[in-house]
């Protein structure tokens, strides 16, 4: 008596197993079947074995047991007569199973029911009502083998001729951002701060200014590390910060000047020599501890300007300590920003244009990015005045970690200054947001209408986690989106937020795809039924948080899989259930479908 | 007519254990002051009581906590009963609990333990009727702590449902699990797991030292666990090849 009628309909294709002892002559109904969701655990624990020649619940339903059956007996054709299975002469082969299905009342009733069903497909599902199965209601996706277009996104299908070309989406450009790239071929620490002809000069006196930025800052050093000279020991890497300044407009619109070819790398420890890190740290040789080329990292050819900050002893795990280090570094970066605001006399080597576009008639999609919000290094500055800056930014911890919407352009214009110092391999640092692959891909995708990017913190207290997840749910409801992708950095307790946030979206009927590092070390400890379309960010061969900066963070490939999975789910095409354990071949197979 | 680029054949990349919402009652006093209850879904009842229907049964039997262990028996079709037939303490460690009470390790025992047959259990009945009813009675008898064993796989689920009802009514619970993955997935608030086969979930028959050790370690876990869903493997191993 383990399946309710509601549960039955989603398990029609699962193996039919008796939940309890049943005598011969029992006419099989929902209450006789064991709940298939526990089979994997039962098999794993050697409590039962499942053979390939068994009947599905759909086949066994309505049949009669020929002999007494014990609990957890898998039903096969020789144990059951009548019902859907009657005409299945050779159970066990794909062909005969197909025959059995074809002979089932479930399917044979479909044509008769289709007249009723055609007017009752509100969400891309066909709804069948079968009198013969004693009032069983069966709901299944309408078009997995068809066009892949969900009914609700294809309202014109019946009205228009097939040959009519698809009209271009009605686009409304909300704002435009142009990033102009100016090359840096060498960096010198000298007497003045200036940029000209590819040479970035940084006034050495800025180091002293950096030391004055916050009373907790005790010592600042700065050096320049050329790409060919990276075998240099370093304290743990707290952040990678692009050098960018607004030339026109405010964050997210107008023109941003970017110095390409050089980035700031913030490292630090406290006076006692304790690395400023939390879960895992990546001090070591810079050629070994950075996954060059990740969105958050320096690229292979980048010059690194390393700013190492020593803060007051014992403040590394308080909010004020890491913030002081970031403030010190920003004092130097900001002085450079002042010098590159007006580069009208020089020619950029490249420029990229980003448009916040609303596409009417396209499915509305939201990207939710979960960020750390538990104090210490688990904090982020939202929407600073200058790209990737510190000043003007609001800390998500101070805002109670509630969801805050940024436009895609605001994100890509350095709208997040990340103070995060969770596991180095999974943290999303400032440069990551400056070129976030999912934001860039969704923004440019003409098949969807990207409504915005929601940032939601992961609070420390469980009640607060529920509070912010609840607010996210209400926000999503108000946005009336058709689909959502939610990402998280890190792993562990933030997966509680992650699962609650996914439930907050999924429970409102919105298809949602979850993106996180889990693999071996970060495998999920909590979950819910809405987490059925998940993207794995792991890149480590053994599935570990490996302390290589940004190794297990989101890349372009991951973004492509996530978007494809969301579109597929929105179209009502089933996403197959995951393997029971992390399996790299699943990821590779999905990538091959992109 | 907007179209979406889709790809049949995609597979979700991350395994997700489906866990119900947390339910949690912290323990607020020392074990020596706590009144302890024990329940089992392993089909234990008094020999004088109506046996369970092994085809599925959501009823329960009251087992006075002073019942001599030789007046108890098992009716359960889901696993080999031979260990319980040798020593009912392998599933319901009633003698060990009385010893722990007499030694002052725990403050006392409720008057009534409960046995039910969790195999193939009717989830809705257990969730809506049996669980809340047992929890209500244990609460009325002053239970601070409720310990449990599950027998078979679905018994673990039934036991977990009843424990969650107890936890929701203000008692601190722990499942002694032979199948910890099921206990965890079904949302048991606390789990200890000795390395034992189903059928002797509370320890090897007639091995007083092991049975006592499992109970004491489980009580320690109730005291030390500080959040929902914690699991501790216990260092006791017994194998029984049927």
Q: Is A22 on the interface with B (CB under 8 A)?
A: yes
Is residue B10 assigned to a domain?
no
Q: What local confidence, expressed as pLDDT, does residue A378 receive? A: 80
Which of A34, A448, A524 is the closest to B16 by Cβ? A524
- Read off the pLDDT of each residue in A393-413 and give the average, rounded to a whole number: 96
Which pLDDT score, from 0 to 100, does residue A289 have? Answer: 95
How much is the pLDDT for A98? 37
* Residue among A526, A527, A532 with most chain B CBs within 10 A, to mutate: A526
What is the β-pairing status of strands A394-395 and A199-203?
Answer: unpaired
By percentage, how much of chain A surpasses pLDDT 70? 83
Sequence-ordered alpha helix ranges (H) in A150-231? 206-211
Does residue B6 lie within any of the structural domains?
Answer: no
Whether A440 shows a pLDDT value over 50: the answer reads yes
Answer whether A531 touches B (CB < 8 Å): yes
Mean pLDDT value across residues A25-40: 85
Mean pLDDT computed over A13-41: 85
Question: Chain B residues with CB inside 8 Å of A19's CB?
Answer: 56, 120, 154
Bridge partners of A535, per DSSP, are A515
CB-based contact A69:A75 (threshold 8 Å): yes
Distance spanning both ends of chain B, measured CA to CA: 64
- In whole angstroms, how far apart are CA A567 and each of A123, A486, A505, B5, B181? 14, 14, 16, 7, 33
Whether the per-residue pLDDT at A460 is higher than 80: the answer is: no
List the single residue in B with minimal CA-CA distance to A578.
Answer: B12
The residue ranking higher by pLDDT, A426 or B18, is: A426
Whether B16 and A531 lie within 8 Å, measured CB to CB: yes
Record: contact B4-A567, CB cut-off 8 A: yes
Lowest mean pLDDT among A205-219, A456-470, B36-50, B56-70: A456-470
Q: Of B8, B10, B153, which is closest to A38 when you measure between CB atoms? A: B153
The answer to whether B176 and B214 are in contact (CB under 8 A) is yes
Report pLDDT for A167. Answer: 66
CB–CB of B13 and A578 under 8 A? Answer: yes
Q: What is the pLDDT of residue A55?
A: 93
CB contact under 8 A, B182 and A154: no
Strand partners, A367: A453, A485
Cα separation, A517 vs A374, whole angstroms: 19
Please compute the mean of the pLDDT values over residues A417-437 and round it to a whole number: 91
Is residue B154 assigned to a domain? yes
C-alpha to C-alpha distance for A198 and A184, rounded to whole angstroms? 4
Closest by Cα among A420, A426, A427 to A552: A426
**What band does A87 get if pLDDT is binned at 50, 70 and 90?**
very low
pLDDT tens, position by position, A69-85: 887 889 999 999 887 65
A47, B185: Cβ pair inside 8 Å?
no
Assess A436–B contact: CB distance below 8 Å, yes or no: no
Q: Is the pLDDT of residue A144 over 60?
A: no
Q: Is the pLDDT of residue A515 over 80?
A: yes
Instruction: Count the domains in chain B.
Output: 1
Separation CA B178–CA B153 (nearest Å): 9
Task: Specify the pTM.
Answer: 0.74
What is the nearest CA distance from A483 to chain B, expressed in angstroms? 12
- The helix or strand, by DSSP H or E, that contains position A214, with its residue range, turns out to be none
**Among all residues of A, which ones are annotated catalytic?**
421
> Tens of pLDDT along A291-301?
999 999 999 99
Q: Rounded to whole angstroms, how far apart are CA atoms A543 and A218?
A: 38
Asked if A564 lies within 8 A of B14 by C-beta distance, the reply is: no
Q: What is the pLDDT of residue A150?
A: 43
Is the minimum CB–CB distance between A48 and chain B shorter than 8 Å? yes
Question: What mean pLDDT is predicted for residues A234-243?
Answer: 96
Minimum-distance CB partner of B11 among A44, A153, A589: A589
Q: Find chain A residues with C-beta within 8 A of B157's C-beta.
A: 38
Instruction: Note whether residue B24 is domain-resident.
Output: no
B122 with A514: Cβ contact below 8 A? no
**Residue B37 CA from chain centroid, whole number:** 11
Listed residue (B43, B41, B48, B21) closest to B167, CA to CA = B21
Q: Name which of A22-31, A543-552, B128-137 the model is least confident about.
A: A22-31
Count contacts between A and B (CB, < 8 Å): 197
Nearest to B19 among A22, A514, A526 (CB): A526
Residues of chain A contacting B5 with CB distance shorter than 8 Å: 447, 564, 567
The pLDDT, as a whole number, for residue A21 is: 78
Residues 88-107 of A with CB under 8 A from B: none
Lowest-confidence segment of A58-67, A100-109, A382-391 by average pLDDT: A100-109
Query: For residue A218, is pLDDT > 90?
Result: yes
First to last CA, chain A: 43
Instruction: For A169, name the nearest residue in chain B, comparing CA atoms only.
Output: B2
How confident is the prediction for chain B on average, in pLDDT? Answer: 93
Which residues of chain A does B22 touch, with a Cβ-Cβ cutoff of 8 Å?
462
- Cα(A452)–Cα(A498) distance, rounded to whole angstroms? 19
| Rg over CA atoms, chain B | 18
A572 φ/ψ sector (left φ>0, alpha ψ -120 to 50, else beta): left
Interchain proximity A568–B198, CB inside 8 Å:
no
**Domain coverage including residue B206:** 31-237
Q: Do A71 and B12 touch (CB under 8 A)?
A: no
pLDDT of residue B242: 56
Mean pLDDT along residues A213-236: 96
Secondary structure of residue A455 in the 3-state scheme? strand
Q: Which residue of B has its CA nearest to A586?
A: B13
Nearest CA-CA partner of A525 in B26, B173, B227: B227
Domain assignments of chain A as residue spans, ordered by start: 5-142, 176-593
Is A306's pLDDT higher than 90? Answer: yes
Whether A170 and chain B come into contact, CB under 8 Å, resolves to: no
**Cβ of A156 under 8 Å from any chain B Cβ?**
yes
A21, A41, A363: residue with CB nearest B182: A41
Enumerate residue ranges in chain B where pLDDT < 70. 1-2, 241-242
Using CA atoms in the order A122, A59, B53, B69, what is the torsion angle rounded to 10 degrees? -90
Residues of B in contact with A460 (CB under 8 A): none
More confident site: A122 or A325: A325
Chain A, 487 to 506: residues with Cβ < 8 Å from chain B are: 499
Residue B81 domain flag: yes
CA A153 from centre of chain: 24
Of A361, A447, A590, the CB nearest to B10: A590
Tokens of B201: 């979930």
Q: Do B16 and A582 touch (CB under 8 A)?
A: no
CB contacts of B119 in chain A (<8 Å) are: 20, 71
Give strand pairing partners of A64: A27, A81
pLDDT at B221: 97
Q: What average pLDDT does this structure show over A101-126?
A: 38
CA–centroid distance for A362 within its chain = 21
**Any B CB within 8 A of A577 CB:** yes
Determine the pLDDT at residue A105: 33
φ, ψ for residue A463, nearest 5 deg: -60, -40
For residue B128, what is the DSSP state?
I
**B1 closest CB neighbour out of A160, A516, A561:** A160
Return d(Cα B87, Cα B203) in angstroms, integer. 10
> Residues 53..82 of A with a Cβ closer than 8 Å to B: which?
70-72
């Amino acid at each position: 008596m383990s399946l309710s009628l509601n549960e039955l309909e989603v398990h029609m294709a699962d193996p039919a197993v008796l939940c309890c002892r049943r005598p011969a002559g029992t006419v099989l109904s929902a209450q006789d079947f064991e709940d298939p969701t526990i089979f994997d655990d039962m098999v794993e624990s050697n409590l039962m074995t499942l053979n390939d020649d068994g009947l599905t619940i759909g086949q066994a339903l309505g049949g009669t047991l020929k002999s007494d059956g014990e609990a957890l007996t898998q039903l096969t054709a020789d144990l059951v007569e009548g019902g859907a299975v009657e005409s299945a002469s050779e159970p066990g082969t794909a062909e005969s199973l197909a025959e059995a299905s074809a002979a089932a009342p479930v399917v044979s009733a479909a044509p008769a029911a289709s007249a009723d069903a055609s007017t009752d497909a509100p969400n891309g599902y066909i709804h069948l009502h079968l009198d013969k199965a004693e009032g069983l209601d069966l709901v299944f996706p309408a078009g997995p083998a068809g066009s892949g277009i969900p009914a609700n996104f294809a309202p014109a299908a019946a009205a228009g001729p097939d040959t009519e070309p698809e009209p271009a989406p009605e686009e409304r450009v909300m704002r435009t951002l142009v990033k102009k790239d100016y090359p840096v071929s060498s960096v010198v620490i000298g007497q003045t701060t200036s940029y000209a002809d590819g040479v970035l000069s940084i006034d050495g006196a800025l180091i002293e200014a950096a030391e004055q930025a916050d009373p907790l800052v005790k010592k600042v050093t700065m050096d320049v590390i050329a790409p060919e000279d990276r075998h240099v020991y370093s304290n743990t890497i707290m952040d990678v910060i692009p050098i960018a300044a607004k030339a026109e407009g405010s964050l997210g619109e107008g023109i941003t000047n970017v110095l390409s070819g050089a980035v700031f790398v913030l490292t630090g420890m406290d006076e006692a020599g304790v690395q400023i890190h939390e879960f895992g740290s990546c001090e070591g040789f810079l050629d070994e501890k950075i996954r060059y080329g990740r969105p958050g990292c320096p690229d292979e050819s980048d010059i690194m300007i390393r700013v190492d900050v020593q803060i007051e002893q014992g403040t590394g795990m308080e909010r004020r300590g890491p913030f002081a280090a970031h403030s010190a570094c920003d004092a130097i970066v900001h002085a450079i920003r002042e010098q590159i605001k007006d580069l009208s006399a020089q020619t950029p080597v490249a420029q990229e244009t980003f448009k916040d576009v609303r596409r009417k008639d396209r499915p509305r999609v939201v990207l939710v990015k979960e960020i750390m919000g538990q104090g210490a290094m688990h904090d982020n500055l939202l929407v600073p005045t200058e790209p990737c800056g510190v000043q003007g930014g609001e800390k998500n911890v101070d805002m109670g970690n509630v969801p805050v919407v940024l436009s895609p352009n605001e994100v890509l214009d350095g709208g997040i200054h990340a103070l995060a110092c969770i596991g180095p391999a999974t943290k999303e640092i400032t440069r990551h947001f400056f070129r976030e692959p999912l934001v860039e891909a969704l923004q440019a995708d003409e098949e969807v209408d990207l409504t915005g990017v929601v940032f939601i913190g992961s609070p420390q207290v469980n009640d607060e986690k529920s509070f912010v997840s609840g607010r996210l749910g209400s926000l999503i409801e108000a946005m009336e989106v058709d689909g959502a992708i939610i990402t998280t950095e890190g792993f562990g307790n933030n997966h509680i937020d992650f699962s609650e946030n996914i439930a907050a979206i999924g429970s409102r009927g919105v298809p949602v795809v979850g993106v996180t590092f889990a693999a071996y070390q970060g495998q999920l400890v909590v979950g819910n039924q809405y987490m059925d379309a998940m993207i794995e960010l792991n890149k480590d061969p053994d599935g570990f948080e490996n302390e290589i900066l940004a190794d297990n963070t989101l890349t372009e490939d991951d973004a492509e899989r996530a978007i494809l999975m969301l579109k597929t789910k929105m179209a009502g095409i089933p996403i197959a259930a995951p393997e029971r354990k992390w399996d790299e071949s699943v990821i590779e197979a999905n990538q091959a479908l992109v | 007519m907007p179209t979406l680029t889709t790809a049949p054949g995609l597979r979700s990349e991350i395994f997700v254990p489906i866990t119900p919402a947390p339910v949690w009652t912290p323990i607020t006093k020392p074990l020596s002051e706590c009144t302890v209850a024990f329940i089992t879904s392993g089909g234990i009842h008094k020999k004088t009581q109506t046996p369970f229907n092994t085809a599925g049964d959501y009823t329960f039997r009251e087992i006075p906590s002073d019942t001599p262990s030789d007046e108890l028996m098992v009716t359960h079709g889901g696993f080999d009963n031979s260990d319980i037939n040798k020593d009912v303490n392998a599933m319901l460690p009633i003698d060990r609990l009385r010893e722990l009470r007499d030694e002052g390790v725990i403050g006392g025992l409720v008057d009534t333990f409960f046995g039910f047959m969790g195999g193939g259990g009717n989830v809705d009945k257990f969730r809506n009727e049996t669980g809340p009813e047992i929890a209500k009675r244990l609460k009325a008898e002053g239970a601070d702590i409720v310990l449990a064993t599950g027998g078979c796989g679905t018994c673990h689920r039934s036991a977990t449902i009843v424990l969650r009802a107890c936890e929701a009514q203000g008692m601190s619970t722990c499942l002694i699990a032979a199948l910890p993955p099921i206990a965890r997935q079904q949302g048991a608030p606390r789990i200890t797991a000795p390395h034992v086969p189903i059928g002797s979930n509370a320890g090897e028959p007639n091995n007083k030292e092991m049975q006592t050790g499992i109970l004491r370690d489980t009580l320690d876990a109730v005291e030390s666990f500080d959040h929902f869903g914690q699991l501790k493997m216990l260092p006791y191993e017994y194998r029984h090849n049927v």
